[in-house]
Amino acid sequence: MNPDFPEGNEPSKSPVDILIVEDNNADLMIMQEALLETGLSANLHTAVNGEEAMKFLRRVGDYSTAPRPHLILLDLNMPRKNGYEVLEEIKSDRLLMRIPVVIRLPPKPMRIFRVPTPHTRIVTFGNRLISTTFAR
User: pLDDT tens digit string along 104-128?
Assistant: 766 654 444 455 555 555 544 444 4
Domains contained in the chain, CATH given = 16-45+56-133 (3.40.50.2300)
- Contacts of residue 18, defined as CB under 8 A and 6 or more positions apart, other chains included, come to 35, 42, 43, 44, 45, 69, 70, 71, 72, 73
User: pLDDT tens digit string along 46-74?
Assistant: 999 999 999 999 999 999 999 999 999 99
Handedness of CA 58, 62, 68, 69 (dihedral sign): negative
The pLDDT assigned to 135 comes to 42
DSSP string, 1-59: --TTS-TT-PPPSSPEEEEEE-S-HHHHHHHHHHHHHTT--EEEEEESSHHHHHHHHHT
Question: What residue type is assigned to position 4 of the chain?
Answer: D
- pTM for this entry: 0.72
